[in-house]
Amino acid sequence: MEFNIQKNNSRLFLFLLSFSLFIYQILLTRFFSIIFSYHMVFVVTSVAVLGMSMGSIMVYKLYNRLNKEYIFITGAIALTISYMSVIIILYSGVTANGLIINTIIVAVPFIIAGFVFGTVYRLLSADIGGLYLSDLVGAGIGLLSSLFFLEFLGIYRTTIIMVTIPMLVITKEAFGKKKLVIRSIGSLIILILVSLNFLPNTIISQIEKDFGGFYKSNQSIYQKAKNGNMTPNVLFTSWNGFSRTDVIEIEENSEEMYITIDAGASAPMYRFDGTEEDLIKYRKETGYMPFSFGDVSKSLLIGVGGGRDALYALAGGSKDIIALDINASTIDAVKEFGYYNGNLYDRDEITTVVDDGRGYVEENDEVYDLIYLSLVMTNASQGGTYALSEDYIYTVEAFDSYLDHLEENGKIGFLVHDQDDMAKIIGMAIKTYENRGITVEQALDYIAVISDITKMGENNFHLSQPVIVLSKSPYDEKALVSMNEFVISNNFAAIHIPGIVETTPLKDLRDGSLSLDEYINHFPKNISPSTDDKPFFYNFEAGAPQLLRTLLAGLIVVWLLVFFKHLLNKKLRKPILFFSVIGMAFMIIEVSSIQRYVLFLGHPMYAISIVLSSLLIGSGIGSLISRSHLLFKRSSVRRISLLIVSTGITGLLMYDYYLSAHIEWPIISKAIVVFLIIFIQGFFMGMLFPKGVSMISNLNRQEEIPLYIGVNGIMSVMGSVVAVVLAMTIGFELTLVIGITMYGSLMFMSDFS
């Protein structure tokens, strides 16, 4: 049966389906960030997206058996049912700890979407520019919309919107084909879905709170408390585009509650009555040490969390405290429980700010007596899409910036998790001082390190929450004596107090018997200094983690299993390589660009939304123009590749030599500049996919198109993994250069004949 549908309807339907599919993908990252650790989120989502390729390849195999006329109706119905089924299964929590079963389940909507897209691309290959435009613009707007929906409507209403969109396709298509029953049922379902948005907020809040993965995941603080025979109660829940934030009360511990981010990372919120007397106990913790000496009148607390840092600052006598956190819900949670914490964040001494720590420091000219970072995790802990971005608060360049924003005798304090964190911070600090013209031996006069000690058996001891304090100037004798007295009076361990206590290997650095490189290699784990180009502070493996390397190897095996026999066919070889290159190169540039602009834009959410949406929308418009505008319609692959290389290098140079020097610009100005730079790159990058499809169509080989869509999809997923693996090995700048070079390699490719 012939496919009988208007071209404009096809563009609209692809736009809507792509729009809903991107919302689905963002929702998955939100759900899986709670269920799994962030590397697992990346793995599960990447493998699930492979379903798009599998669906398209199925079209290549089954095309002649399909009823093409009803592809949108049947596809949208299947997509709606699969969306609802997946959400119900995930929300119930029955698969909370099953990696493989979750991957299979969540891949189903992607497979269905890939089947629909592959069918339509083959049927209407003459309109490939318009279809690709609809696909990419739908994805770009879907990204922006999903972040907006999550931030302002919540996860429940965002899910309802996602499920409603395919129903719009079903109903409109049924009108065109005069299918009264389908039209009536579709309209009724839409009415029901819309009405569900108007449930009382108390019911919606309870539904959002009852996400089963939160309660049943093995990584959940809630589940760990239950496993420890404690009685946890969830008192507060808030979903936004950043995280799920909860406040958990443990009945057996009345002195503190726990604020959890995505179920796993937690920060304590202490019971505090607001009096000076109740602050005394905080002066006996290792984390208080940076506040125990010198002037701390003006303090900046980065990643303030549940407020422990603020209590240290108050106990130390700070009168001007900036309490900064990147997650607004964390601050809201502390304010919600003011009766418990003494209205901590409403005190006159404290000003709360929602912002990225590094960005806030560099965008302001303020100087501080103390900049304090206590157990601050990177944004990698968010998982999913954000797993493609890292924070910049723990890099050598960040330490240098912090020192620049201190008073002459100011200091930076770090409260860290364990010895690995401590060793890495010390190495980075020495490297920072070295970059400022201070020798390794001299740098040890600027560094102090103490720790609590936990006994782990008869003769085994563990450093517990070490504290590192870096000074802008060498410590004077008064400061050194104060630190030593603090250690002795509280029975802590002094790791390094210049001239008083110096232990190996820092003692060996001091006397010159150990170089900085030898110090770094002294430890069994990778403690190489993190930089803005390689900002993976919490990666202690050499290069990329084994999990990502395994995933990459698996993707290569899948690619070979699916396409190796096709590569033996000379007719198919060149198109397969072409679509492989543009799929992988696109994702390498996308991931690298997102990361590079996190620092400039000041927040990972800004970078992801602006870079990815401008890249997708630019590519979509470039796709349409390449098919309709005479100038570009006649352009060869070589000419387009040259344009991509030129714009890519221009964007790279603009960032390195211009944008990085203007981090203080207002966010709207930065967003506009980044959007334009990435849009222009994307405009030319988007031309190659339809160009390739056109070359296939010109050879009257339309039946191969779904195969190449599958190739492109698999290589896109592989490209995102390759980008992260390369970045962890050689840095994001060289990774971006590799992506640009891959596009440049197409200048040596002629047509497919």
CA distances from 448 to 43, 370, 471, 539, 695 (A): 40, 14, 9, 24, 65
Q: Which of 167, 194, 138 is nearest to 25 (CA)?
A: 138
Instruction: Please check whether residue 468 is in contact with residue 425, taking contact to mean a CB–CB distance below 8 angstroms.
Output: yes
Residue 374's pLDDT is what?
92
pLDDT of residue 297: 97
Q: Which fold has domain 296-324+349-376+391-521?
A: Rossmann fold (3.40.50)
Answer whether 56's CB lies under 8 Å from 583's CB.
Answer: no
Looking at every residue in the chain, the average pLDDT score rounds to 89
Burial 406-424 (b: 16+ CB within 10 A, else e): bbeebbbbbbbeebbbbbb
Q: Return the domain boundaries, the chain.
A: 1-217, 296-324+349-376+391-521, 530-753
- What pLDDT band is residue 455 in, cutting at 50, 70 and 90? low
Of 717 and 410, the structure prediction assigns the larger pLDDT to 410
- The predicted model scores a pTM of 0.90
- Answer whether 137's CB lies under 8 Å from 617's CB: yes
Which position has the higher pLDDT, 47 or 292?
292
Phi, psi dihedrals of residue 502, rounded to the nearest 5°: -135, 120
Specify the pLDDT at position 632.
58
The pLDDT confidence band at residue 430, using thresholds 50, 70 and 90, is very high
Partners of 70 in beta bridges: none
Closest CA to 495 of 633, 289, 343, 340: 289
Which fold would CATH assign to domain 1-217? Growth Hormone; Chain: A; (1.20.1250)
Those residues with Cβ within 8 angstroms of residue 565's Cβ, 6 or more apart along the chain or in another chain: none
Report pLDDT for 378: 42
280 vs 290: CA distance, rounded Å: 15
* Cα gap 267→258, rounded to integer Å: 6
Residue 603: pLDDT band with limits 50, 70, 90: confident
Roughly how many angstroms between the first and final C-alpha of the chain, as a whole number?
A: 31
CATH class of 530-753: mainly alpha
Q: Please check the confidence at residue 9 and state whether its pLDDT lies above 50.
A: yes
Least confident interval from 330-339, 478-487, 717-726: 717-726
| Calpha distance 607→665 (Å, rounded) | 15
pLDDT at 551: 84
Kindly report the length of the chain.
753
| Six token digits for residue 524 | 């069994």
- DSSP H helices in 491-545: 506-510, 516-521
Q: How far apart are CA 256 and CA 205, in angstroms?
A: 24
At residue 598, what is the residue type? V
Q: Do 1-217 and 530-753 share a fold?
A: yes
Give the C-alpha separation, 194 to 174, whole Å. Answer: 19
pLDDT, tens digit (0-9, with 9 covering 90-100), for 40-87: 676 667 777 788 999 999 998 888 877 777 888 899 999 999 999 999
> Could you tell me the two tokens for 242?
């950043």
Segment holding 354, helix H or strand E? strand 350-354
With tokens 């924070």, the residue in question is 391
User: What is the dihedral angle through the alpha carbons of 502, 503, 504, 510, rounded to the nearest 10 degrees?
Assistant: 0
Confidence at residue 384, expressed as pLDDT on a 0 to 100 scale = 37
| 728 touches 564 (CB < 8 A) | no
DSSP state of 413: E
Give the amino acid at 690: P
- What is the per-residue DSSP string for 248-260? EEETT-TTEEEEE
Residue 96 binned pLDDT confidence (cut-offs 50, 70, 90): confident
DSSP letter for each residue of 414-478: EE-SSHHHHHHHHHHHHHHHHHTT--HHHHTTSEEEEEEEEE-SSS-EEEEEEEEEEESSPPPHH
For residue 520, give every residue at least 6 positions away whose Cβ sits within 8 Å of its Cβ, in sequence order, or none: 427, 527, 528, 529
Q: How confident is the model at residue 753 (pLDDT cuts 50, 70, 90)?
A: low
pLDDT single digits (tens) 490-502 = 999 999 999 999 9
pLDDT one-digit tens code per residue, 211-241: 998 999 988 999 999 999 999 999 999 998 7
528, containing H or E segment:
none
Helix (H, G, I), strand (E, B) or coil at 241: coil
Q: How far apart are CA 307 and CA 352, in angstroms?
A: 11
* Higher-pLDDT residue of 469, 356: 469
Residue 205 has pLDDT above 70, yes or no: yes
The set of long-range contacts for 174-179, using a CB threshold of 8 Å and a minimum separation of 24, is: 174/73, 176/5, 176/6, 176/9, 177/69, 177/70, 177/73, 179/73
- Alpha carbons 593 and 389: distance in angstroms, whole number: 10
CA separation (Å) from 713 to 16, 53, 111, 436? 19, 5, 11, 47
Cα radius of gyration (the chain)? 28
Closest residue by Cα to residue 590 from 567, 617, 630: 617
DSSP letter at 274 equals: S
Q: What is the mean pLDDT of residues 500-525?
A: 92
Helix, strand, or coil (residue 270): strand
- Top mean-pLDDT range of 445-449, 607-611, 710-714: 445-449
Identify the band that residue 203 occupies on the pLDDT scale cut at 50, 70 and 90: very high
Region 425-430 average pLDDT: 97
- Answer yes or no: are the C-beta atoms of 52 and 114 closer than 8 Å: yes
Q: β-strand 298-302 against 320-325: which pairing, if any?
A: parallel
pLDDT level of residue 629 (50, 70, 90 thresholds): low
Q: Are 294 and 476 in contact (CB under 8 A)?
A: no
Average pLDDT over residues 519-539: 91
Biggest distance spanned by C-alpha atoms of the chain = 90
Question: What is the SS3 string spanning 697-746?
Answer: HHCCCHHHHHHHHHHHHHHHHHHHHHHHHHHHHHCHHHHHHHHHHHHHHH
